[in-house]
Amino acid sequence: MDYIEAEYGGNWKADLEAGVLRERNSNGKLTQLGKELEAVRNILWHANETNWFEYKSGSRLHHFRFPIRFRREARDGTRIFFETPGPSTKQEQPSIPPQMFDQVREKIQKVIKKRYLRRVSTEWDIKSLIKFFAVPKGERDIRMVYDATASGLNSAVWAPSFWLPTIDSLVRSLDSSSWMTDRDIWDMFLNFPLHEEARPFAGVDIKPILTGEEANKFRWYQWVRNAMGFAPSPYNSIKMALIAEEVIRGDRTDRNNPFHWEEIRLNMPGTVDYDPTQSWIMKLRADGMSACEFFTFVDDERVKGPTEDLTWQAAHTMAAKQAYLGIQDAARKADECTQQPRAWAGAVVHVTPDKGVSVLTSEEKWLKMKQILKKWHDEIAGGASDLDHKSFLSDRGFLVYVSQAYPALVPYLKGFHLTAEMWRGNRDEDGWKLPHKQPVNDQAGAPGGGVFDRDEDEARARYSTRKQGGETLYAPTSGRTPPAPRLLAGLKALLTLTNSTLPPLRVARPNHVLHVYYGFGFGDASGLGRGTTKQGFRAPTAEDPRTGPATPLKYQVGVWGADVDSDSSNFRELANLVEDTEIEARRGTLDCCEMFLFTDNSTAESAFYKGSSSSKKLHDLVLRLHKLTMDHSLMLHVIHVSGTRMISQGTDGCSRGVLMEGVMSGKDMLSYIDLDKTAIERSPDLLPWIRSWCGEKKISPLTPAEWFQEGHGIIGGHKDKHGVWIPDHEPANKRHLWAPAPAVADAMLEELLKARHKRTDTYHIIVIPRLMAPRWRRLFHKASDLFFSIDPGNSFWPSHMYEPLFDKRNLRLNSGKPGVHAVVPIQCEVCWIRNLEGCELDRVKHCQYMECIRRANLDAINARASSTIEGHVRFIKKAVENAESINGTPFFKERGPFPLGDPIGMGLAVDLLLKSIFSKGQIKPWIQFHSMRTGRSTYTVTWGSSPAGIMDGACFNSARSRIQFTYCPSESIWFKDFLLGAEDRMGYDTKNQRDLPILAIVAMIGRIEADIESSDDHSQVNRLIKAAALITLLTAASLRGNEGFYLDIAGTRKYLPRGKNGQVPIDPLKRKVLTETEASNLPEICICLMGKFKGETGERHHSIVLANFTTSGLQPRKWIEKLLEVCDSEGRKSGSAFNESNGSPPIAAEYNAIVRQYVGSMAEAGEHGLDPDANLVRYGISRTFRKSSETRARRAGIPKEQVETVNRWKKVERAQGKRPNFAMVDHYANARELRLFHEMHSEANEISNSGHPQSF
């Protein structure tokens, strides 16, 4: 109980018995203390039912042992993202097939016994039921499926995508001395609590399994753990498992920790001492050995270490710390430590003395894969027009699972992915999903009509979660799906690649230490010419420490024959690479070798990694290249580089017969290989540029060692009382810069994806040169919310960087549009500098000036819709053609030169943009658009007072309006376009104060009153009375905070006796019109707000009439009278009733603090539906009570005109002594006679839904 004492004090038990602390609030919901006690009771119960060998009754997370920032989430579960209200399906559970009854009953009773399914006390606790059914598992067992999709629950929630480790993640950590062992998390999803928001929709009807007298018992239960079949369960469960991993790994600097590591070793291609027998990135211990590590694929854990003993220690530590956190380790599934373990994540990884680290699949899976491929090939080749969807989907999952061992197979599975979704419709003739349309869904209850088109990631996840019973596979109602056109070609390629009898061994990292070579080759085909340059390198070893070139530079120069005249340049580029590689393979130089091929043709790279092309010739070339990799155990990397790099390197010259450029002139081959260099290392000016816009002036790139800790938000740690190291985390909204070398970008991005899975309140900036992009592009897209490309040629990314920075995809930034100069006046930065500054452009001095001009131009351009611009351009082109056909001239005005000066407002646009850059916002680090544009009004006023502006005197006058001519640039059409484009680019963010339920406001005032009665501090009592009076006044009169401070003591006291003993008419809200006698005898209180000018009553205040009491419990008269008593006790007879005792003005921040204190205490107790995790800053006197009042008024049906009548005093005040802008009928209405409207507003916006107010 130490944890509870630390949270609630050492006397929490006595406070609980005395009622100071409560387990449940007035609504019967658990308070935070109640949740703690319930969790501890469950922990103790589960622990009592557990023995040394088995969790007989499951477990519960020991949330108080988790890192501090994740304790509540470990206790209550991860929040569920509801996109629509939850379902209300309560159909009875269908009966169970007799042959499965006993097994189904046993399975369900098991989860009930473990308290994963909890019995509800009443049917009102359940809003929706999830149906369940059983499917066979093997010959004798069954798997339970809980179908949250059919109930509509999955379509009501959003389940984020997430990353899982692959076989490549494991291989990256292995070396020739590595050992491995496997563990398993028992009841993976069921270890983690389901958030209470989702529980009412996760009901289960167990009536079909009840027998005898049991059938008369209440039969509804609800899931309290992450239910299998609920869409967010995988994401939420794996998130908590990742958080637990931080505790399991412990303090990396503690050398007694099996997971200890000291440094990161980088071994990247392109460096002189690169060794292909070693991993490109690896954690090293203080003794120089590779560090222990573990990887978790859903519930399957793979532990690796440098020795058998250390591997066993690491596995034991992992299992022990999981138990320490309340996560179940399946000890009976633990394997022995070995260098040749069983399959994991779809592949088998072996470490052998002769082959090093190699990957394969089991013989059983290899033979099954070949049978599946032949089955579908024969069926389609035989003319089948549709396929059995269920069988096809199952086979696809198996192929994806097995192909993890052989990347060469993966590209040819695309036909399987397309075929699996062809039945949904909305596809083109080749099977690709059409954009911007919703897919057709003819299966009732399919998951939101969504198309699972995330290829092998999605299929692999399906195959894995299906093992957990975690997903229902949907199919067309017909059960058939047509094959995609490319499926047959893919099957043929797969059969070619898998024609060996036994599964081939794919060497991931060779272990040869005497003759280890790796090579770089550049290939280019320019026009009729072709050329390649290549060079092999010797890796340093203990027996042969020499480094550098092991073979002389080889080159090939040639021309294409007439047989390829009709072929595309894409074919020539790829054929050049393939044929040259086949020549080297026949010479025997590529066996167990690593080869890097560079090409300036992006189609060649894309075709190699995607494995296909719409061109049959390209498809055949790629197939030949992949066949080489499998036949010769060749590790092949095809890398796209820019044409400028190819020219500089010299291979482009080879293809043109020029042999004195780049490496051909004797320059070092490695000087053209930038795979090992980060973007910032290559261009140091990049870092100041990033700092200029990221909002963090001192940001620096994370080091590779920091990727694994600081990048996850871990800033250190501490040992708890049991000596277990618990990580400490940085606060929210921190920024991290990740700048990896391209060769290790995939390892970095995997760490980033894990960090983002755990924490979504941190900002990450990623900077990667576009090299080796196929290795990391998918991870990059998965990790990024916003990504863009920077072409070489900038001051911070100059031309000799060759390739773009980042990877261009989607970006909500403005860009140019073809033909826009025909509809928007465009001048370049050089001309604008001349016009605005009267000097020539200095690209260093005017660097940011140029950027602002360019941004202003782009903003103005993007105010016009692309379709509108395209329409104008088409008309212009057609007009030109028509004019030329008659030898005429089209009568469009020339596009220049533009007049000197600034007639359109470019200077003002630059000023506004600079304001948006340098000014700090309240909501974001930058200001909002509406804050930026306020400078326009200042400019317009200063123009009107200038010599040029006073000449704008001509105007049209009418009885109602005036139209004035002006040359003011801020009124130009271009400037208005600029504002529209800037607003679209900047967007709009707000953090307006939130409203409160009326009953919550009444409860808050009740709490304040209780504190008043219990306080002996006179000044504190006065302060609380003022707070209660202000809250009541703001709500009943629908005022903002500063308006309530205008309450006038003298004026309010003057009218205080009126209406004190009034009577409520019969049905006042329905009648709307009262007699004079009734209107003069209403139960009311008249409050007076101070004004600077005489208003409608001829006095220096404004009158608002409120009801004395409301049905919901507000008491305006009671609190106004108490407030006036406080004013008397302070000796104040005039001025604001809320002034301090010394007469100084009230301080809004003090009242905000009081409001937030009481809102926080109610939220903590779970009262009135208030969120305990809500940001209390969103509540305050400024808007909360005004919003609450108007929201209630709308719900009660109060007309908008009546609300405006209540607030008519504001128009009087703004008129400042002049005639207010009322409608004529309002000018003749006496304020006193309008009091019924005020009372109806204050009454009705508080009225309950069930009837009329009983008291006021």
Neighbouring residues of 691: CB distance < 8 A, sequence distance ≥ 6: 697, 698, 699
Distance CA 225, CA 244 (A): 17
**From 39-43, 563-567, 612-616, 964-968, the region with the lowest mean pLDDT:** 612-616
Asked if residue 277 has pLDDT above 60, the reply is yes
The pLDDT value recorded for residue 331 is 87
Taking only the tens place, the pLDDT of each residue in 524-567 is 676 667 778 878 776 555 445 445 556 778 877 887 777 776 77
Question: Which tops the pLDDT comparison, 639 or 411?
Answer: 639
CB atoms under 10 Å from CB of 502, counted, come to 9
More confident residue, 270 or 1178: 270
Per mean pLDDT, which of 58-72, 649-663, 1009-1023, 1216-1230 is the most reliable?
58-72
Judged against a pLDDT cut of 60, whether residue 442 lies above it is answered with: no
714 forms beta bridges with 729
How confident is the model over 469-486, as pLDDT tens digits? Answer: 444 445 677 888 888 888
Quote the DSSP letter at residue 548: E
Q: Each residue of 596-642: pLDDT tens digit? A: 888 888 888 887 887 666 567 777 788 788 888 878 877 888 899 99
Q: What is the per-residue pLDDT for 747?
A: 96
Confidence (pLDDT) at 316:
96
What pLDDT does 588 receive? Answer: 80
Give me the pLDDT at residue 289, please: 95
The DSSP 8-state label assigned to residue 878 in this structure reads H
**Phi and psi angles of residue 1042, each rounded to the nearest 5 degrees, phi first:** -70, -25
Between CA 301 and CA 238 the distance in angstroms is: 12
Closest CA to 240 of 303, 192, 296, 185: 192
Q: Tell how strand 220-223 and strand 117-119 pair up.
A: antiparallel
Predicted confidence (pLDDT) at residue 491 exceeds the cutoff of 60: yes
Higher model confidence: residue 454 or residue 368? 368
Question: Which string of b and e fits 996-1027 if b means at least 16 CB within 10 Å?
Answer: bbbebbbbbbebbbeebeeeeeeeebbbbbbb
> What percentage of residues in the chain have a pLDDT greater than 70?
83
Per-residue pLDDT, 1198: 65
Amino acid in position 65: R
C-alpha distances in angstroms, 519 versus 483, 604, 634, 767, 834?
A: 41, 19, 11, 27, 54
Q: Residue range 1155-1178: average pLDDT?
A: 79
- Could you report the per-residue pLDDT of 65-91, keeping only the tens digit for each? 999 999 999 999 999 999 888 999 888
Residues near 1200 by beta carbon (within 8 Å), at least 6 away in sequence: none
If pLDDT is split at 50, 70 and 90, which confidence band does 1068 have? Answer: low
Q: Which amino acid is at 331?
A: A
| Residue keyed to tokens 């229902």 | 472
Residues 6+ apart with CB under 8 A from 99: none
> Around Cβ 873, how many Cβ atoms within 10 Å?
17
pLDDT (0 to 100) of residue 789: 85
More confident residue, 408 or 368: 368
Give the per-residue pLDDT at 317: 96
Would you place residue 412 in the very low, low, confident or very high pLDDT band (cuts 50, 70, 90)?
confident
Strand pairing report for 763-766 and 735-738: parallel
pTM flag (> 0.75): no
* 699-715 b/e (C-beta count within 10 Å ≥ 16 → b): bebbebebbbbbbbbbe
| Higher-pLDDT residue of 746, 447 | 746
Confidence category of residue 911, pLDDT binned at 50, 70, 90: very high
What is the per-residue pLDDT across 122-151, written as a single tens digit (0 to 9) for each?
A: 778 899 999 998 888 777 888 888 889 889
Mean pLDDT of 1032-1046: 85
Mean pLDDT of the chain: 82
Rounded distance, CA 922 to CA 914, Å? 17
Q: Which residue has the tokens 């539906």?
A: 1169
Q: What pLDDT does 988 receive?
A: 64
Assign 962 to helix, strand or coil: strand
Mean pLDDT calculated for residue range 422-444: 56
Residue whose tokens read 């943009």: 913
Q: Is the pLDDT of residue 1251 over 50?
A: no
Distance from C-alpha of 847 to C-alpha of 245, rounded to nearest angstrom: 47
Q: What is the pLDDT of residues 838-896, one digit of tens each?
A: 898 887 788 888 889 999 998 898 888 777 888 888 888 888 888 888 888 888 888 87
Give the Å distances, CA to CA, from 795 to 607, 672, 847.
34, 21, 9
Q: Which residues of 791-816 are buried (b: 16+ CB within 10 A; e: fewer)?
A: ebeeebbeeebbbbbbbeeeeeebee
Tell me the Ramachandran region of residue 802: left when phi exceeds 0, alpha when psi lies from -120 to 50, beta otherwise.
left
| pLDDT confidence of residue 1105 | 85
Please determine, for residue 181, whether its predicted confidence score (pLDDT) is greater than 90: yes
pLDDT score at 441: 36
Reported as a pLDDT band with limits 50, 70 and 90, residue 811 is very low
Confidence check: pLDDT of 765 > 70 = yes
